[in-house]
Amino acid sequence: MSKVAVVYWSGTGNTEEMAKAVLKGAKDAGADAELFTADSFGVEQMESFDSVALGCPAMGAEELEDGEFLPMYESIKDKLSGKKVVLFGSYGWGDGEWMRNWDEEVKALGVVIAADFVIANEAPDDGAIAACESLGAALA
């Protein structure tokens, strides 16, 4: 059974809703999956998981949230190699540049991207929720 960590930061609840859908998809596909906020996950947990879903909304000038999520991500990114990873998040402006940049950075680490990232403009609609559930299933 695959062990999946779903790690996210959410300011408005939109990315949290997406994270819960990723978790549901992983569990429905048979994975042992756990949900973590960025401030409760770190490098010490990485060895316990086969796969990691990372969720963060666009902040500022289309950047990752830098108070909690970015420090956590920086601490674990060297441990992502060899693990299956998916990315997701929401945005309220722009066109998703933050996610395209993040996706390229993660791929450059030699990570196995299990599925294309999912982004939602504002609150995730039914299609985004279904896509997040598929992300979870891809990690299982």
* Alpha carbons 37 and 71: distance in angstroms, whole number: 13
With beta carbons less than 8 A apart as the criterion, state whether 66 and 97 touch. no
Enter the tokens of residue 32: 């042992």
Q: Name beta bridge partners: 121.
A: 91
The 10s digit of each residue's pLDDT in 76-92 is 999 998 899 999 999 99
Q: Report the run of H or E that residue 119 belongs to, with start and end.
A: strand 118-121
- Three-state DSSP class for 76? helix
> What global pTM score does this model have?
0.97
Q: Is the pLDDT of residue 94 over 90?
A: no
Q: Is the pLDDT of residue 118 over 90?
A: yes
CA Rg value for the chain: 13
Which pLDDT value is given to residue 1?
Answer: 78
* Alpha carbons 80 and 78: distance in angstroms, whole number: 6
Mean residue pLDDT of the chain comes to 95
Enter the tokens of residue 84: 């299956």
Q: Is the pLDDT of residue 35 over 90?
A: yes
